[in-house]
Structure 1
């Protein structure tokens, strides 16, 4: 059994467009809040967190609704189309409100943009497991993650080129460029991914061995896997959100040098996605996740002992990136592996609810430790959170893949297909 890489790439265009938008949101909205509307950092941080709060409720809802869709165009594609079009329409209003310096119109247009992208976020992610055989989902998820990284790179490259000053910041060119990318991406999905045919073919294979109800043991595995997801996001995001401040205060580094460490981790993760996906198909998802969790917790624990900057920090963050790829490539496929037929979108929502909840909570908790205890707490805090995930993962007994000998023989040749 071999993964259809071409099809997976085409499916990944939906996630590519989402990642491009979120990268723009994270880069540009804080600047608009500070420079245009002169909103303080505390309030701006609260506003920026609202997208995650919204995701807690919207992603499971639209994931479950798409599960019940009976459209002739598919379960997920109609949501991807409607959500994409609405996102494009509302996001193009945002720079106009900035030009007018209308705060209430800015919040209204941004709010509707976030609602619109929530319509298709879970369906876009759920499309991959819908059309991919279960044993190949780690490989496929590696491709999806890579497509997401390319979407983020698209925005990162264009941001300094398209945001120009003409008396004040002009955001129109960047918003238009990302809107065009979303449009192109949704057209690729519409015209090259025949969802119903692919999904029906996959279900014919899976229904022969699938149970119709989830056992108590499987429910327990799902709960512990979601708790594990929450914990490793608590640890990892504590580092990504506070490391530049930590490096500046503790190691006396400037922000540019500190950001290089995070960039190295990101590059290492991107390079690792596909090899990790192949290894997971050969060795099993849980083994690769546990390896990643062990390495990640160890790296964060070692970070505690650096009292000043050393080039070894770059090596440490390269291992962090590889470790995160081991976890990220496999955790979502393990969740949807435990879903029943027609529930992929709902389980996708479960996964994002726990990961988003961690991303909301951990900046507050870790920030409190930094402020009231000391900056030295950052790495021990992150190591502890990820270490706890190692314990909860030991209770996960379902969701792994079990490759047969044919899959193992395909291992070396799988990249060429």
Structure 2
């Protein structure tokens, strides 16, 4: 509820340092401070206060900072830029896990990883403030001031439905991806007969390839076209999830090799890695396609709409996929047939 309206608010804001920068310079330090206080919060009310403030402060600046990319990047380079963002985010997660794991046991209250995260957030905000110069050309028409809910009404009631179809596609493919992301460990345990840790490791192999392929996916979208690239990714996800449903479980868990950093590779690892590449082709190119549907005055508003449909999918996805499992007598492989159905709905929306 907080993140989407922040984008429209940042579109309307006028300050000497830009539209997005105030959100970053206010939200980032507050989030960093309360994140650093979490390991010191040894009573429940203080812990709840820290975590609640953290969530609100991060939501305050998340959409504006994402909107900053299309603000400063020409349309033809936005897929490549989003690929770099996704790749760097993935690398950051890996580095944080490796270094944070080493720092975790250095103090009794395990504070060092939190303090490292806080310091990096403040440093990142300062680097953005120093090196990123926002464009200062704004639309000043008071009657046309950006508003999230007005934009949503316009999309629903207007004759042109391209942007609405893309947003519905985003909703459908995130519901579908939730079948893998949220339920894969249970699928690995209950269908494949693996340990929960092995299931998490397999999911990590998908994430690894997603990070690795994020930059190429952006360049493919820039050269081939975002719509075609997303369609290829959707077809890939449909085929790969169906294979995880159709193929006998014995053929999916044939051991192949142990790879440093990735763990034991099985035949299903190949499908998951291809799914990681397909998902990168979809995910990296979706935001640039959404913000290309509007002008520079409403980039934050449309970024907010992107987040709105993503969060609706994050709410609906676990429930829908849970109902599918419950309706099939706790057959967790059924998510691998439900997922392709929602991917197919996203495909229909993209084909328009």
TM range (shorter): 0.7 to 0.9
Query: Is residue 24 of structure 2 the alignment partner of residue 66 of structure 1?
Result: no
How far apart, CA to CA, are the structure 2 residues paired with 1:366 and 1:266? 20
How far apart, CA to CA, are the structure 2 residues paired with 1:151 and 1:228? 28
1:226: Cα distance to partner? 0.5
How far apart, CA to CA, are the structure 1 residues paired with 2:276 and 2:31? 31
**How many residues are treated as equivalent by the alignment?**
321
How far apart, CA to CA, are the structure 1 residues paired with 2:159 and 2:13? 26
Q: Deviations over 1:168-196 (max 9, x none)?
A: x6231111010011011111101111223
How far apart, CA to CA, are the structure 2 residues paired with 1:274 and 1:365? 32
1:384: Cα distance to partner? 1.0
8 Å contact kept, 2:168–2:346: yes
How far apart, CA to CA, are the structure 1 residues paired with 2:247 and 2:106? 41
How far apart, CA to CA, are the structure 1 residues paired with 2:104 and 2:237? 36
1:372: Cα distance to partner? 4.3
8 Å contact kept, 1:91–1:113: yes
Query: Is residue 218 of structure 2 the alignment partner of residue 277 of structure 1?
Result: yes
Across the aligned residues of Structure 1 and Structure 2, the Cα RMSD in angstroms comes to 2.0
Aligned counterpart in structure 2 of residue 360 of structure 1, from 285, 293, 315: 315
1:121-140, aligned counterparts within 5 Å? 121-140=62-81
1:237: Cα distance to partner? 1.6
1:306: Cα distance to partner? 3.1
How far apart, CA to CA, are the structure 2 residues paired with 1:163 and 1:127? 33
Normalised by the length of structure 2, the TM-score is 0.86
What corresponds to 1:164 in structure 2? 105
What corresponds to 1:381 in structure 2? 338
1:18-417, aligned counterparts within 5 Å? 57-97=1-41, 100=42, 102-164=43-105, 170-196=109-135, 200=137, 219-308=160-249, 309-310=253-254, 311-373=266-328, 374-395=331-352
1:217: Cα distance to partner? 7.1
Runs of 4+ in 1 over 3 A off after TM superposition: 213-219
5+ residue gaps, structure 1, are 1-56, 202-212, 396-417
How far apart, CA to CA, are the structure 2 residues paired with 1:254 and 1:83? 40
